[in-house]
Amino acid sequence: MIAYCEVSAFTDTPGHGNRAGVVLDAGHLTRQDMQSLAAMLDAPETVFVLGHADGLARVRYFTPTQEVDFCG
């Protein structure tokens, strides 16, 4: 089981703005796992947090069809 949430970015009103998927504990997932989950969530972008240290997070971004360098 993989825990995830959906957020409404760029708005103060839930359900408005840009929908995004967020997976906080993704360090154990393969690239294919991330792509499959992003396709299942079908949000414009899904961010996978791979880990963090010294106040910085390591992340990867996926659309439903491909990995992208940056989103937002």
Instruction: Write out the catalytic residue numbers.
Output: 45
Report the length, in residues, of the chain: 72
| Sheet bearing 5-9, strands edge to edge | 5-9, 18-23, 45-53, 56-62, 67-68
